[in-house]
A = this chain, B = another copy of it.
């Protein structure tokens, strides 16, 4: 019975999934304006740059609030902090072996020579992002700002060491 259900599902799933995969992949390819499919290294580089971009999109308004450039909106601050905390742990897998070069990247080759330290810095940043997400839920501006500063320092620690200017 289980087998026959499996048998009915698979062809449909395969077709629908394949269509979506082709569709999504074509967005990526199109955005890269290339005819040949990207290498695994290029995919990883584009992936990690995408994660950084989404983080920046959410980090920007938070930092703007902390700097007093835009009004503090506790709910929006917390929502974006939660997103940053969710995105942060997605970065590490964007640095597989062999992705030091490919498409344009500012990642230093030292990342792969000192992967343990790089990983430690990433984990530290993930922790600070998680703390910010937790703290900002309480809606205390000063505490949220202090936690954001901690996160910013953790970002900078890695940028200073493992990213080219």
Chain A residues engaging chain B, CB cutoff 8 angstroms: 2, 5-6, 9-10, 12-14, 16-21, 23-25, 27-28, 30-31, 33, 43, 46-47, 49-57, 59-60, 63, 66-68, 83, 86-87, 90, 104, 106, 142, 145-146, 148-149, 152-153, 155-156, 159, 163
Can you give 21 A-B contacts (C-beta < 8 A)? A2-B142, A5-B142, A6-B142, A9-B149, A10-B68, A13-B149, A16-B156, A17-B148, A19-B152, A20-B63, A21-B56, A23-B156, A24-B52, A24-B59, A24-B155, A25-B56, A30-B106, A50-B50, A51-B54, A83-B86, A83-B90
Query: What is the CB-to-nearest-CB distance from A78 to chain B, in angstroms, rounded to a whole number?
Result: 15
Query: What is the CB-to-nearest-CB distance from A50 to chain B, in angstroms, rounded to a whole number?
Result: 4
A149 adjacent to B12 (CB under 8 Å): yes
